[in-house]
Amino acid sequence: MCGIVGYLGGRQATPVLVEGLHRLEYRGYDSAGVAVLDGGEIVVTKTAGRVQDLRDLLVDSPATVGVAHTRWATHGVASDRNAHPHLDAGLRIAVVHNGIIENAEQLRARLQADGVELVSETDTEALAHLIAQQRADSLEDAVRAALRGVEGTYGLVVLDRDRPDELVVARNGSPVVLGVGDGEMFVASDVSALVHHTQRVVFLDDGELATLTATGYRTSTLDARSTSKVPTTVAVAADAYELGGHEDFMRKEMAEQPEAIARALRGRLDERFATAHLGGLALDPMALRAIRRVKFLGCGSAYYAGQMGAVLVEELARVPADAEPASEFRYRNPVVDPDALYVAVSQSGETLDTLAAVQELRRKGGRVIGAVNVVGSAIARECGSGVFLHAGPEVSVASTKALTNMTVSFAMLALLLGRVRDLSAAAGGRIVAGLRGLPGQVERVLADDADIARIAKRYAHARHMFFLGRVRGWPVAREGAQKLKEISYVHAEAYQSAELKHGPLALIDPDMPSVVVVPADDLVAKNIATIEQVKARGGPVIAITNADLPDGLADEVIRVPRGEPELDPILLTIPLQLLAYHTAAALGRDVDRPRNLAKSVTVE
């Protein structure tokens, strides 16, 4: 992985390709490259570096067809020779590829036994040689024949020197989307690379190929059955992927949270019946009442949002609920409960581990819905029903507004499940009012930015931090630790507050700050006791709270507005985003593109 762009049409290809790569930089990468068909030859330019480094190496070309890639290393170190595109020995085939070829070593060994000299350490290079070796009447048939011997995942675009009027695209487990223009065609791994040129797109399914010409496309399966793909329109404004005056995308996306929440709530709250409408679930009241358990499946921040959702479902609907990392669920031969509702959570809708969990559930007859932020994404299509997050495009690797909208959506799901059971109209009305008030409350938290920046700067020197919370505060603490780790590179651990005295307390000292999440609930006294235990051992404490704490209890207090108690996790998460952001900024980190990470994890 990580970013793919292809173009075929009447204008110069190189500017289109480089612009597309620039718009995919947020996905994380370590090298970049372009291949264009110029003067009957494939001309490749690539480098281990940023897109700007690539741009500096490129020369003007009249080429009107080409492919480009930003790579996140999986096979082989980040280097010029391992960067994509890759060519076959005859310099006829150029390939860009996202995913992992699991039988790459066997394929490489077979190629070397045939006398092929491999010039990179990558799995992708093998694909170029395999395609070139096929005796086929068309490039599409050559790609199809080569892929029959390939095991693993791929989003693939192939350029053939001898067929200058077409590109061939294939997908299995890694996203590929076609862009339909006027006398031109585009391909990318994400719609963000396309929306400046067209909003008419075609999402390929796993096991599907497409052949592109300047005037159109045709799609088929790996076994050569024709498929009928009709373009859909993506309602995404091109400027949604622009900074719009902000320093970076994470700051922009944190600031967008009030409006994002309002979008998620729009048309979904029902004051008359004190409930929520989630039409995308495609479940009537009888089906909702038949649900005996809810399990959330996600990875990273989506998993922690699922934990918050599980707490909400148990509190409001009194239905057993839990969350599990999708990456674990897919491998442990899970017992699938026919009376359970499984919720697959993913901002991109393309997270490979979560998609595989969905496919496992469907194979075993489980009822699974998606909670995704990208219409037409693989998880959305695989589930067929679910909740669209309406967060708007999220570019920064660290999820903020998408995570917030996940939790808001789970609050509405919990409200809906509760109201078809025993949650009273009065209690439902209280939650509806609480949800209505969230955008304004989040604005008030964001307005405390300067004070949180001061606190972050005070503790940015710390090499380690604890994040502590109980019940509602526990998944908030886990998400806070995740944010700090991923963008500031400060080591952070989250613990349930009651577990502190069962081992971790040994690590407390004056150089180990603890961030303690204290909701205004019936556990305030317990959380105060936790803070006192930390303070008694010289540990600095930052309290994130909407409760009335004794003066001087914590070294620093970050306050959030008091709303409905069940919704506290949503508000308590916001200052932890700001704390992580300002810590990273104080340390000079690249906030939007943390090292070693990618926005959409489409490999194992």
> Which residues contact residue 98 at a Cβ distance below 8 angstroms, ignoring those fewer than 6 apart?
1, 2, 3, 4, 153, 154, 155, 156, 174, 175, 189, 602, 603
Structure tokens, 461? 């020197």
Rounded to whole angstroms, how far apart are CA atoms 236 and 597? 25
| Cis peptide upstream of residue 85 (ω within 30 degrees of 0) | yes
Are 462 and 494 spatial neighbours (Cβ–Cβ below 8 Å)? no
Active site annotation includes 2: yes
Rounded to whole angstroms, how far apart are CA atoms 266 and 258? 12
Residue type, 383: C
Cα 16 to its chain centre, rounded Å, is 25
Helices 139-147 and 124-133 sit at what angle, rounded to 10 degrees?
A: 120
Structure tokens, 448? 């405390």
**Alpha-carbon torsion 411, 352, 70, 74, what sign?**
positive
Catalytic residue among 46, 295, 483, 599: 599
Are 169 and 6 spatial neighbours (Cβ–Cβ below 8 Å)? yes
With b for 16 or more beta-carbon neighbours within 10 A and e for fewer, the 228-255 pattern comes to ebeeeebebeeeebeeeeeebbbbbbbb
- Phi first, then psi: what are they for 139, rounded to 5°? -65, -40
Instruction: Classify 168 as helix, strand or coil.
Output: strand
- Phi first, then psi: what are they for 551, rounded to 5°? -60, 135
Q: Put residue 77 in one of left, alpha, beta given phi > 0 → left and psi -120 to 50 → alpha.
A: beta
Residue 586: its H or E element? helix 568-586
Rounded to whole angstroms, how far apart are CA atoms 600 and 214? 29
Catalytic residue among 2, 46, 299, 383: 2
Which residues form the catalytic set?
2, 599
